[in-house]
Amino acid sequence: MKRFYIGIDTSNYTTSCALFEAEERRFYSNVKQLLTVSEGERGLRQSDAVFAHVKNLPSVTAEALAELDTKALEAIGVSATPRDEEGSYMPCFLSGVASAEVLANTVKKPLHRFSHQSGHVMAALWSSKSPDLLGREFIAFHVSGGTTEVLSVKPCGVGFTIEKLGGTADLNAGQVIDRAGVAMGLSFPCGPKLEELAFGNTEPLAKSKLSVKGCECNLSGVENKVLQMLREGKSREFISAYVLDFVGRTIIELTKNALDGRELPVLYAGGVMSNTQIKDMIKKHGFDARFAEPRFSSDNAAGCALLCAAAEEGWEFWTK
């Protein structure tokens, strides 16, 4: 018999809803709609994000749940907080929680609340085909516009115990990429276009000194360097390649320091980790690196749907 699970996620960048079916172990949908950012802007205020989600949710959920058999619906999962820690809060997630509560009350099915971070980890586990990590400790990177963190992850029940080892002390990696892109006249969010430009670069890159100490890094200097290169007349292709190279080398150095000689798997999640250039750099270093597919790496609701299935059925829905 089919068993459907719904996931809803309302991050500061994307409204998303996913529909997962446990018997077939497949997603019927994973619909994402980026929040609109005005030309020249580098992000959204939380109040604007909440308003955008309220507008987006009806159409996003209608598209995602088009094939849902309500008689086979088991439960709903939603991102309620940014991270799994006390006091973790962002107003944008209230939009998704409100929609999920209305849906759960209407169909009289259980509602499970998760963190956006756990959803990213779960989506990455699934799409990297790594069920083996459900039984062991691993290192995880959550690298996006809103987060750049190095995490120690241990499976716990149907979720994870996540300890922050480090991350950025100033700008997030995605912020650096977006700010560089906006400075070059690109539309926000800038990641895909920056990657396209970087592949067109033919000049050798100068390897600027990284700012990494242990599992902590600083990335704000990249923005100043980009502005300097623009004044010097450097091409957009060169600048794009420089930015991605700097971010990639920083992640590699953080990975080495997080592992500290241990042979642990490393899972990379978050929108920045869908970048081909950065992934290729990491793969050359011999880590036991696991990557989410691009469609599961950026903000999406798939992880919430999967965690919801695990909350109702245990991990057996995947591992049996």
Please state the rounded mean pLDDT for residues 265-271.
91
* Region of poorest pLDDT, from 44-53, 105-114, 119-128, 281-290: 44-53
Of 137, 149, 153, 162, which Cα lies nearest the Cα of 262? Answer: 137
pTM for the model stands at: 0.86
For 301, the token pair is 């609701």
Contacts of 188 (CB under 8 A, 6+ apart): 37, 41, 42, 43, 178, 181, 182
Strand pairing of 212-213 and 216-217? antiparallel
Domain annotation for the chain: domains and CATH numbers? 4-128+299-319 (3.30.420.40), 165-291 (3.30.420.40)
Q: In angstroms, rounded to a whole number, what is the distance separating the alpha carbons of residues 174 and 184?
A: 15
- pLDDT tens sequence across 135-182: 899 999 989 887 899 999 998 888 888 999 999 999 999 999 999 999
- pLDDT tens sequence across 280-317: 999 999 899 999 888 898 889 999 999 999 999 999 99
